[in-house]
Structure 1
């Protein structure tokens, strides 16, 4: 069977995350510049090859000082580690629209295997004749697993920045001719 390539549609995608601030509220952010591709056997997404890269310099939390701190050596160290990457090792169908995505997430030169549930929308043709597919990914990672260790103790107890990062990713791909 012929392989099919799918490219990210960045105007209909978002790579978002949330982290607890001061132990009780969430700060949200996103990556503005990224790339992703999927390679499938025909239009069958089971065991698809999925690759993603995000530009650390494009991190946006709606606060320039915080974004600068996240880009610094305290966190992502963008000068030495300009991208984070993900490469799937498995994309397994669980039932009708539910899949499980497993792969290696590389941040700051540290690679760890992660597993996320994925809501798969199936394929759809847009008004201009393009075949599209949508994926919604939600999951959690511990930022310390990738050496993102910076924190500050609070006088009242606890820490300024939570360790758990919740991912909220909406991806739309377009089938390539």
Structure 2
């Protein structure tokens, strides 16, 4: 029994020792969405204020877990009046529900660079499981500012959700589509152990 307990403890210790944290490069990332207006045209939007990180015990990120937060008040569709309406109780009700969160529950390789990402999406006070298609590029070593070599990885995630599942907006679907396409692009940099601990 002592041997078994020691082995489990050793494995946990080893996993922790090799845990990696990857921080999002916000200047090269985007949390966006697309909806259809009047059954005619696509309207693109994004959240200007967001954060994301990846944690992984494997160097190839095949066991990665993803966490993302977005500020509803930073919603941007290039139309101030529309953005104000989206933040109102008619839609997101940003005053009551200011944040959107996503936390992954599984990340599995399909083939090549393609993965399936499953996680819990919370917005408007409702949490639902969602599945996203992901293309991962990397990790690859690259030289950053000052010539310092860093490991970086890129992710393109996409999927479709229904706003009605989250109770967002009662406006007819002929005006604003119920289905919303999510488009998240992220560039991540592996953090030094000392930097990761401070965070």
TM-score scaled to structure 2, two decimals?
A: 0.83
Deviation at residue 137 of structure 1 after TM alignment? 0.7
Instruction: Give the match for residue 140 of structure 1.
Output: 160
In the TM superposition, 1:39-78 aligns within 5 A as 39-78=55-94
Name the one with the larger strand percent. 1
Name the one with the larger helix percent. 2
User: For residues 4-33 of structure 1, what are the alpha-carbon distances to aligned partners after superposition, in whole Å with 9 as ceiling and x for unaligned?
Assistant: 000110001011111000111011101101
Asked whether the 8 Å contact 2:92–2:169 carries over to 1, the reply is: no
Asked whether the 8 Å contact 1:45–1:91 carries over to 2, the reply is: no
Answer yes or no: is 1:169 the counterpart of 2:169.
Answer: no
In the TM superposition, 1:112-131 aligns within 5 A as 112-128=128-144, 129-131=149-151
Instruction: Give the match for residue 89 of structure 1.
Output: 105
Instruction: Give the match for residue 111 of structure 1.
Output: 127
Runs (5+) with no aligned partner, structure 1: 153-157
Residue of 38, 46, 52 corresponding to 1:30: 46
Structure with greater contact order relative to length (CA < 8 Å, sep ≥ 6): 1
Runs (5+) with no aligned partner, structure 2: 1-14, 193-199
SS of 2:86's equivalent? helix
SS of 1:52's equivalent? strand
Q: In 1, Cα distance between the equivalents of 2:56 and 2:80?
A: 39
Residue of 29, 34, 42 corresponding to 1:18: 34
Q: In 1, Cα distance between the equivalents of 2:111 and 2:175?
A: 40
Q: In 2, Cα distance between the equivalents of 1:33 and 1:130?
A: 25
Deviation at residue 138 of structure 1 after TM alignment? 1.3
TM-score scaled to structure 1, two decimals?
A: 0.93
Instruction: Give the match for residue 155 of structure 1.
Output: none
Runs (4+) off by over 6 Å = none
Q: In 2, Cα distance between the equivalents of 1:52 and 1:77?
A: 20
